[in-house]
């Protein structure tokens, strides 16, 4: 323990000395941070500096091994780093599907050559990744996917279409699922492969939403050639790799939208909108709702921490990630609903002077939260996984 206490005080001092002024106390809306990539943009110049500073210690990926430019920290040290970042109100230096999805999957299933090629670029924020799983006819029933890869010499030629590919128009590389054996049972003819988005034949078309934003794309693949060395795991056994990645994705979604998303307390939010009696809110029913919500957030955080602490070092998440995905995303939807009902008509703004920036963000966050129980697999699909793979119930 004394070593960990020393690590904590060294970390705090280093963060104090090296974090640029412009990132201290910076609160970023979801999706607003550093996503990296060849066309990276930064919320402010200090965020770029912050990324460079953290990359120098490997602390964008604190638990990844040092040989891939990660921080090489133990789970306990990484937890201390997270706590110190939160205590000093410093934002995450880097986000994205590289760190949270394909990186951990490569650590599990990549060859040494694949790890050395891709992991350092993820740590340094040089390459931005997107996920090519869903297709127009294959969402919940993902294993029915039809995008085809045919072997020609040492290249696969890929043809097909993906949909709901989040930020594909900004991504440099895509991890995707393709059908390599059309005659095998559907789960057995799939391969997991990495595709450079700059390859001729890859086309992305952003899907414009009613809000005017385009968080996802249709991705078309026409005679796209990809070297065989980009296959992760075994040809035709991509479903195994795909499921492992989904466990990482679901854990990430749970922590992004669940306990980890908390910035101000709900009571702080309420004080701006409803009457107080002395130092407490006047409305007893609202107090009750807020206390219940905050207790649930805390219980979720403690359960997540405990599960993470109990996991053996390096053990990737399993199907239990579905439990956290359901609870974390429903918690976030409750958070948005509660904030909305507290702000009343002020939460109904879309634009205009009658609303603060925070209120306009709330309306958009609330709408965005509807997708939480769909992305990464719907809640119904998670319930099926829990029944079958966690509880072992019969089909």
Ligand X SMILES: Cc1cc2nc3c(=O)[nH]c(=O)nc-3n(C[C@H](O)[C@H](O)[C@H](O)COP(=O)(O)OP(=O)(O)OC[C@H]3O[C@@H](n4cnc5c(N)ncnc54)[C@H](O)[C@@H]3O)c2cc1C
Query: Which residues touch 133 (CB under 8 Å, ≥6 apart)?
Result: 142, 145, 162, 176, 177, 242
Three-class secondary structure of residue 157 per DSSP = strand
Stretch that binds ligand X, among 61-69, 98-106, 133-141, 150-158 (CB under 6 A): 133-141
Residue of the chain from 374, 386, 387, 390 that contacts ligand X (CB under 6 A) = 374
Q: Which residue is nearest to ligand X (CB)?
A: 139
* Nearest to 258, CA basis, from 313, 307, 319: 307
* Residue 345, number of CB atoms within 10 A of its CB: 9
Q: How near is the Cβ of 166 to ligand X at its closest, in Å?
A: 3
Residue of the chain from 74, 155, 236, 384 that contacts ligand X (CB under 6 A) = 384
Residue of the chain from 172, 355, 375, 382 that contacts ligand X (CB under 6 A) = 375
Tell me the torsion sign for CA atoms 54, 56, 58, 62.
negative
Positions in 312-371 near ligand X (CB under 6 A): 371
Maximal C-alpha separation, the chain? 77
Task: Dump the DSSP string for 312-337.
Answer: PTTPPP-TTHHHHHHHHHHHHHHHHH
Number of shown-chain residues binding ligand X (CB under 6 A): 19
Binding of residue 140 to ligand X (CB under 6 A): yes
Nearer to ligand X, 292 or 361 (CB): 361
Stretch that binds ligand X, among 14-22, 74-82, 132-140, 201-209 (CB under 6 A): 132-140
**Contact flags string 163-192 toward ligand X, x per CB under 6 A:** -xxx--------------------------
Residue of the chain from 10, 32, 309, 380 that contacts ligand X (CB under 6 A) = 380
* Residue 167, number of CB atoms within 10 A of its CB: 21
Beta carbons of 107 and 116 less than 8 angstroms apart: no
Residues that bind ligand X (CB under 6 A): 130-134, 139-140, 164-166, 216, 371, 374-375, 377-378, 380-381, 384
């Amino acid at each position: 323990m004394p070593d960990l206490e020393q690590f904590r005080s060294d970390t705090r001092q280093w963060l104090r000395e090296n974090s640029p002024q412009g990132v201290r106390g910076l609160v970023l809306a979801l999706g607003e941070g550093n996503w990296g990539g060849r066309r990276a943009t930064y919320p402010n110049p200090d965020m770029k500096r912050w990324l460079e500073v953290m990359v120098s210690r490997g602390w964008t990926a604190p638990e990844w091994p040092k040989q891939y430019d990660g921080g090489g920290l133990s789970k306990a040290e990484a937890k201390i780093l997270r706590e110190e970042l939160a205590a000093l109100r410093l934002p995450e230096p880097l986000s994205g599907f590289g760190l949270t999805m394909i990186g951990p999957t490569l650590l599990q299933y990549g060859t040494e050559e694949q790890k050395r090629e891709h992991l350092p670029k993820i740590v340094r924020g040089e390459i931005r990744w997107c996920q090519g799983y869903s297709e127009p006819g294959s969402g919940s029933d993902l294993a029915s996917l039809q995008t085809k890869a045919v072997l020609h010499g040492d290249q696969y030629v890929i043809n097909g279409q993906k949909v709901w590919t989040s930020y594909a128009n900004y991504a440099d590389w895509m991890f995707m699922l393709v059908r390599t054996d059309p005659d095998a049972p559907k789960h057995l003819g799939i391969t997991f492969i990495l595709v450079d988005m700059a390859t001729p034949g890859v086309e992305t078309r952003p899907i414009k939403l009613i809000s005017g934003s385009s968080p996802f794309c249709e991705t078309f693949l026409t005679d796209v050639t990809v070297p065989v060395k980009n296959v992760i795991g075994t040809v035709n056994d991509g479903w195994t790799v795909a499921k492992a990645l989904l466990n990482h994705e679901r854990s990430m979604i749970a922590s992004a939208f669940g306990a980890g998303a908390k910035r101000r307390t709900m009571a702080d939010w309420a004080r701006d909108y409803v009457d107080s009696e002395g130092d407490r809110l006047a409305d007893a029913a609202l107090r009750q709702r807020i206390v219940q919500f905050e207790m649930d957030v805390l219980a979720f955080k403690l359960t997540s921490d405990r599960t993470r602490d109990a996991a053996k070092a390096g053990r990737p998440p399993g199907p239990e990630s579905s439990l956290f995905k359901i609870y974390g995303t429903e918690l976030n939807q409750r958070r948005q609903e509660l904030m909305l009902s507290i702000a009343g008509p002020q939460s109904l703004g879309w634009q205009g002077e009658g609303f603060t920036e925070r209120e306009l963000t709330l309306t958009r966050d609330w709408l965005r939260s509807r997708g939480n129980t769909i992305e990464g697999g719907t809640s119904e699909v998670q319930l099926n996984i829990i029944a079958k793979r966690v509880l072992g119930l019969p089909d």
